[in-house]
């Protein structure tokens, strides 16, 4: 999946689940200070992204995301890890 496609899907999830406008979702926008998300909003976002992308954003990863750009990077990284893991041979 291309980076642009990932960002567009992340934006769609954020707009649908957090009642945000796409124009607000600039990479440098702070989730808490500028978009006014609270801990429940962040939990909702994580669950929605997990469902939308088939990934598992663990609790430790939640503390890494401060900006919209951080969300894009995290989703890209987890998708890349899944691709690598799916190519590795299974030990017998």
Beta bridge partners of 67: 30
The percentage of residues in the chain with a pLDDT greater than 70, rounded to a whole number, is 90
Residue 38 is among the residues annotated as catalytic for this protein:
yes
Q: Reply yes or no on whether the pLDDT at 30 is more than 90.
A: yes
Statement: residue 91 has pLDDT above 80: no
The DSSP output letter for 24 is G
CB atoms within 10 A of CB 49: 23
Q: Model-level pTM?
A: 0.84
Average pLDDT, the chain: 91
Domains of the chain: 3-85 (1.10.1200.10)
Phi–psi pair at 38, nearest 5 degrees? -105, -175
Confidence category of residue 88, pLDDT binned at 50, 70, 90 = low
Give CA–CA dist 20/8, Å, rounded: 14
Given 3, 5, 33, 38, the catalytic residue: 38
């Amino acid at each position: 999946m291309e980076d642009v496609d990932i960002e567009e899907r992340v934006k769609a999830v954020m707009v649908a689940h957090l009642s945000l406008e796409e124009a607000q979702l600039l990479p440098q926008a702070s989730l808490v200070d500028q978009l006014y998300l609270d801990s429940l909003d962040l939990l909702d976002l994580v669950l929605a992204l997990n469902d939308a992308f088939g990934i598992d954003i663990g609790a430790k990863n939640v503390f890494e995301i401060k900006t919209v750009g951080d969300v894009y990077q995290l989703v890209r990284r987890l998708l890349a890890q899944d691709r690598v893991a799916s190519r590795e041979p299974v030990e017998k």
